[in-house]
A and B are shown apart, each in its own frame.
Chain A
């Protein structure tokens, strides 16, 4: 009796949490398709805001810049995080805990501090102006922590004896990586890329301080939100949510198939 009560309570909390997380997202998708944003009931569907968004040229520039930041950050973060996770899990030498701590440290630093410190460091000490490149570098610091976490969780299941076997048969480390490790772990690497790409693509605080006047989608959204209701912004939010969910769906499928292939350790 008491046990059932406790499980019921847990299920209620779970459902309540999903409603709390998804109601705002579903509602904004709904509002983006309505003629009015204020109490749009009964529904009056329109695609007008999406057409306006399509024709808004500043959003095109913002999209392109966000894409550059996302891809740049995703590549840097997934490459250095993959190398580090393999190094830590495969060789397990003294000091790996400290290095793992360094890679995870950005999780414990507020974004605004990463933003302002790299702004001032670049401008005052290096004399560099804010641009897409410095935004990529600054985003890559904390995106690496997430990439590292994703890879650590996935690669912890990898059986390194496979690599040893290849080496015993005379494969060089490089060839072992290319022909044994990479084909087995690439879904995890791809997952790390997607997560770091999305984080940097949608980041406001770090990009904002490092970009000067260069617009990205989040900085445009920020500007638009300051001017009150803009249903184009809701259309944008709906599209980005749709993109994030498709990416994560793809990732889920890949990780599932990847895990199945990596799971023969047990």
Chain B
């Protein structure tokens, strides 16, 4: 028996632009629905923001959480709590010693609503009106702190930050906590709530958002020749990771194994990926090596693919560099075409999609690809789900972030 524990996924939870839980979100993804909509506010008129749509979460937190929670938690924490409660219940609310239970929940940007509301309060009404809970609400570790409090997770509570790779890196760190013997069970994921005029204006200023205001649902179109940027999304995804031994001892339902974690940094440019994809390739190779997975067993990749001109193709070239001719039997899915980009929540939600794909042997579609980019080198799942083979299979979830962070997670059939 190996001294390093195998890590399995036993619980899933999410709140996303496609639904208030995993079942609804997954069903909408398989159906090829878009979560993007025109925003019902006056931000364009008031601030001159050139983008008038986003992918907001489908079920508002005030329909789910108690009023004191709404007042004490930044929206990013609210989303994380909703996803955590679902994941924990989905795992059967495992009985575990708090000292053997860890929590790793990341946000790419943190409690920006609280930060900016606090600044507005200060400027308009002075320091005496500042709410005492402002600091514990805005701190980027607030989501994981509340998760740890709720579940009594005492093995460690961590909030790794790596922009749009944060959610995947959190899950990777959770795997490492179990492998290193620090925990038997870890609740891990990512969250983001940045559909606020300031970050929207800032992303628009960086020229990375799609400007397709007349067609929000068609705006996120990874690999399509007409793609023009990403669609800002929001929400959270959380998984329950468990040592295979712990899961077996309690007879837990196992979705899949989280078999490999690959991390790297480009050290190339603050926002652009290394055009040679060296960091992406290194992350995928490390994850596959750690998982001990042969290239021909990789049947599915959930791409980072945000719908930008440069990023989408850099990744597919990297996939081909790693898998070679085995790329030809990969089913590539770009689920941001439906969910928009959840930033710090993206890597977690897309890990959930990869786990569901392996578990149900069904790769979700990529929508809005009317004319595939001729330079796309990986077979793309378009419009309808694609059946994945029987037998031992593996999937890769890629997540990359501003700053040159690369995370590849390998999910294998249980």
Partners in one complex: no
